[in-house]
Chain A
Amino acid sequence: MFFKKALMFASLIILAVGGIIAISFFGMRGYSPVGIGAVPVMAPVQKSVSYAVYAIKDVWNHYFFLVSAAKQNDELKKALGDVLEQNNQCKETSLANIRMRYMLNFRKKTGQEVLVAEVIAKDPSPWFKSLIIDKGTRDGVKKGLPVVVPEGVAGIITEASKRYSKVQMIIDRNAAVDALVQRSRARGILKGNSAEQCLFQYVPRKHDVEVGDTLISSGLDGVFPKGLRIGEVSVVNKSGTGIFQEVLVSPYADFEKLEEVLVILNPPKYEVTGDNEEDEE
């Protein structure tokens, strides 16, 4: 009985040791004849499951997750819009600041009382050149006052209501400014022609006018103070038969881009002398 038990025990030990040796031996070589048999069966399933999981993950990432991404995108777009708007406002403020400084310098230079007005509307017709400004009689604006920009003469107040006024620009066909050529002092009348150029009329042929000359206001029209820049001579034609030469002038003011203008509230006026008063009487 004891022998039988000892034999069984010994057999178990031998089996265990043999098993350990066999596992160790085959394990070292990385070879498993049982496992390899399962691979061809399980691998396709694994593959299918993996694909399924990846597909679900992909759907989640690219569609369901996109809902939150879309929300985030909307928020970012809104934020970007706000920032762009702020940036635009900063740019506008900066540009307005530059223009205001320019106008302030002009005011200091001229030494006259000027009022800054904003352009709020323009004549829609191509045949008339006028604009509406946001200052009226309550600000001291009245009919006949000159309107200028730092670059030069812009126009004249033709109508004034309490809060708004209408300005006829010098490029209007019905506008006229008494002007001088700065270099040669040749005198003539500047009349509106089109947006780009004005006509400098009634300049005798013998008077010296050249391309590039600067035109200034003569002050003799009783509207514009003397010495304000108007424009530059762009074409001189003396080939005609008339007694006057044809002169085209490009105004310095850019009438397409006018946003603010200056109204001169106290233009210099000619004083009537005692002799004239007596003559008038």
Chain B
Amino acid sequence: MRYFFYIAAGIGLFLFQSAVMPCFSESEKFYDVLIPFVLYLSIFCPLIESIIVILISGFLMDSMGGGVFGLYMTSYVWIFIGMRRIMGVVHIPDSFLSGPITGLGVLLEDAIVFGLFRYSGNGNPLPEDAFYVLSIRLAWAVATGGMVVLGLRYIHKLCDEQSWRLSAKFAK
């Protein structure tokens, strides 16, 4: 069930932002909803499993996205490492700080993208509306990132409960 949760959550969020969100106008200014997923994995899940899931999620995004291959994988891994480091220093109550930390994740991902633009040598280092778009993405991330993390935690608990019930049933 735990692996089912990883697969369902990763693919579900990926499909949501690549196939559902584009149906709404201005949806591109919404943040990458896989970032709260990465944060959730870094807070609540075992290290090896988290890294595998993060790499697969990054691979999906890199395959379907228009950026350089490896961009999302790199971003997610750095967000994961950053989150682990923060957790080593500060105890994070997941329901309270996960919104601002999602914002930090969005900031880190966009910093990597801007760095890529800067060193790709195609003229303008930043898009004209970069700061405007970034501020909107940050606002969305801070406002809703915590809810996504909480939602993931709730679904994960449901999956675990279902798993226990099934195992108890089979044990009888």
Flag if B128 contacts A125 (CB, 8 Å).
Answer: no
From B19, B22, B110, B122, contact of A174 by CB (8 A): B122
Flag if B22 contacts A124 (CB, 8 Å).
Answer: yes
Interface centre among A124, A173, A256 (most CB of B within 10 A): A124
Flag if B123 contacts A191 (CB, 8 Å).
Answer: yes
Flag if B32 contacts A124 (CB, 8 Å).
Answer: yes
Determine whether B77 belongs to the interface, using a CB cutoff of 8 Å to chain A. no
Determine whether A128 belongs to the interface, using a CB cutoff of 8 Å to chain B. yes
Residues of A in contact, count (CB < 8 Å): 24
List the B side residues contacting A168 at CB < 8 Å: 66
A150 to B112, CA, bound (A): 36
Given contacts A124-B21, A194-B127, contact A132 B64 (CB under 8 A): yes
A217 to chain B, nearest CB (A): 20
B111-141, CB < 8 A from A? 113, 117, 120, 122-124, 127-129, 133, 137
A49 to chain B, nearest CB (A): 60
Residues of B in contact, count (CB < 8 Å): 27
Flag if A121 contacts B120 (CB, 8 Å).
Answer: no
A186 to B54, CA, bound (A): 49
List the A side residues contacting B128 at CB < 8 Å: 193-194
Interface centre among A123, A194, A201, A256 (most CB of B within 10 A): A123
Flag if A121 contacts B113 (CB, 8 Å).
Answer: no
Given contacts A173-B117, A191-B123, contact A125 B66 (CB under 8 A): yes
Determine whether A232 belongs to the interface, using a CB cutoff of 8 Å to chain B. no
Determine whether B65 belongs to the interface, using a CB cutoff of 8 Å to chain A. yes
Flag if B66 contacts A166 (CB, 8 Å).
Answer: yes
Determine whether A107 belongs to the interface, using a CB cutoff of 8 Å to chain B. no
List the A side residues contacting B133 at CB < 8 Å: 126
From B22, B67, B124, contact of A128 by CB (8 A): B67
Given contacts A122-B18, A158-B66, A166-B66, 4 further A-B contacts (CB under 8 A): A122-B28, A127-B127, A128-B67, A173-B117
